[in-house]
Amino acid sequence: MRAIIAGTGIHVPPNVVDNHLLAKIMDTSDEWIRQRTGIVTRNFADPGQATSDVAVPAAEQALEDAGLAEGDVDYVVFATMTPDFYFPGSGAILQHKLGLRPVPCLDIRQQCAGFVYGLQLADALVRSGQYRNVLVIGAEVHAGLMPWTCWDILIGGAERRPPAEEFAFNTRFRDRAVLFGDGAGAVVVVPGEGDERGILDVELHTDGSHVDKMWVRAGGSAFRPYFEPGMHARGDTVPIVEGREVFKIAVTLMPQVVLHILQRNSLTLDDLDLLIPHQANLRISEAVQKRLGLPDEKVFNDIQKYGNTTAATIPIALHEARQAGRARPGDLVCLVGLGSGLHWGAVLYRV
C-alpha cells in the first residue's frame, strides 16, 4: 500500500506588496530585486494575523478537495519556522481553530525543507496503518521577522516616506527582507487503493555544519535572557542569509538528491514529468534546472508572485501545478527542498 495525496489547498493573505512598494521604505528597486531573486510580488499578513490563521483556510481547502471533513483527520504535521508563539507550537492552535478532534499534532522545524520532512512522516504513519488521514501543513508569517515598522505604507496605503533613520535601517537588510512572503499550503495524505499512485520514495539529509549560513542570530537558550532589547536594535531578529554560500550549496545538493532518488528507484530524468523545487530564489531554481538539463516545461516556479514562503513554498507550488494541469494523473513529480539547518531532501510522487 502506498500513501497518496488526496487533496491540496493554499492560502495567502490578501495584502499584495510589490517591489515598488518596498522601494518606498528602503534603498531598492523593482529592477534590483527582479535581477537577484526573480520576485515581483509577495503577500503579507495583517498585524495580529498569526501563522495558524493563515494555515486554517489552506487546511480547509485541502480537506474539501480530498472529500473529507474535519472529523476525519487523524493526525496533523505542522511545519513552520514562524510559530504563533515561542511555545507551544502552532499545531495545537490549528487543531483548535480548525475544530478537529483531540488528535496528535506534531510541530516540525526544518524550515524550507519542512514540507518534504512532513511528507515522510505522513507517508510512514499511513503505510504503518496507525493513522488513515494525515493533514500536512507548511505555513509561515514572516512579517514579524521583517526589520521595518512602517506597515501603514506597505499594506495600509499611506502616502508618506519613513524617517531617514528608519529608511537606512531597513536598507541594511534589503538583501534578505525582499525575499520573504507569507502563506500556507496543505495536503491530506491517505491510504491508496493499491494502484501505482502515491509517494514512491523520500530521501532526507541534515548537515549541521552550515547552521550559520541561514539563521536568526537572536533568541533561544544560547542567550540569557532569551531576548533583550539590544537584539532588536542590532537587527539580530532578522534572518541572516549568506546568499552566495547558500546559492553554491543549493545548486549542488538539490540536483544531487534528485538524481539519487531517481537512481535508487531505477528511474531517470527522462521519466520525470515535473520538478517542483523549493521557491527560495528564482536564480537558484534556474541553476538547479540547468544542472539537471531539464526543459522549462518540466520545472514549476511561482516565486515571482509569492516570494519565499519557506515551509509553504512546495505545497503552494504543488497545488498550483495541479490547478494548471502541470501535475496530471500518472505524472511522476519530484519535490525537492533545502533549508536552514542544513536540511534537504526530495520526494518522488506519482500523481
For this structure, is 308 an active site residue? Answer: yes
The single residue of 105, 112, 150, 334 carrying the catalytic annotation is: 112
What is the H or E stretch that residue 167 is in? Answer: helix 164-171
Q: Are strands 3-11 and 183-191 parallel, antiparallel or unpaired?
A: antiparallel
Q: Are 39 and 282 in contact (CB under 8 A)?
A: yes
Active site residue 112: yes
C-alpha separations of 265 from 63, 67, 96, 186, 197 in Å: 30, 31, 40, 26, 15
3-state secondary structure 13-44: CCEEEEHHHHCCCCCCCHHHHHHHHCCCEEEE
Q: Cα 221 to the chain's mean position, in Å?
A: 25
Catalytic option among 170, 301, 308, 343 = 308
φ/ψ region of 81 (left if φ > 0, alpha if ψ in -120 to 50, else beta) reads alpha
Q: How far is CA 315 from CA 55, 167, 192, 346, in A?
A: 12, 34, 19, 13
DSSP 327: S
Phi, psi of 172 (to 5 degrees): -55, -25
Distance (Å, whole) CA 12 – CA 139: 10
Beta bridge partners of 264: none
Considering 11, 278, 319, 343, which one is annotated as catalytic? 278
Residue of 255, 314, 311, 322 whose CA lies nearest to 286: 255
43, 176, 283, 304 from 35: Cα distances, Å: 20, 14, 9, 11
Name the residues annotated as catalytic.
112, 278, 308
